[in-house]
Amino acid sequence: MTSVAEAAAQLWPAARLLSALSVRPAGPEDREGVVQLLAGSSADALHQRFLVGFGGPPLTALVDRLLARDASSRSVLALAGEAVVGHGMCAHAKSWQGRPAVEIALLVRDDQRGRGIGSALLYALRDEAVAMRAEWIQVTTAADNRVVTAMVRAHAPGLQPSSTALR
Ligand X SMILES: CC(C)(COP(=O)(O)OP(=O)(O)OC[C@H]1O[C@@H](n2cnc3c(N)ncnc32)[C@H](O)[C@@H]1OP(=O)(O)O)[C@@H](O)C(=O)NCCC(=O)NCCS
Give 18 or 132: the residue with its C-beta nearer to ligand X: 18
Give 40 or 116: the residue with its C-beta nearer to ligand X: 116
Give 73 or 145: the residue with its C-beta nearer to ligand X: 145
String of DSSP letters for 117-165: HHHHHHHHHHHHHHHTT-SEEEEEE-TT-HHHHHHHHHH-TT-EEEES-
- The footprint of ligand X (CB under 6 A) covers 45, 48-49, 105-108, 113-119, 139, 141, 145-148, 150-151, 154
Give 98 or 145: the residue with its C-beta nearer to ligand X: 145
Q: Report CA dihedral (42, 43, 45, 46) to the nearest 10 degrees.
A: 120
Q: How far is the CB of 147 from ligand X (least distance, A)?
A: 4
Q: How far is the CB of 9 from ligand X (least distance, A)?
A: 16
Q: How far is the CB of 52 from ligand X (least distance, A)?
A: 12
Q: Are 35 and 64 in contact (CB under 8 A)?
A: no
Q: Are 159 and 118 in contact (CB under 8 A)?
A: no
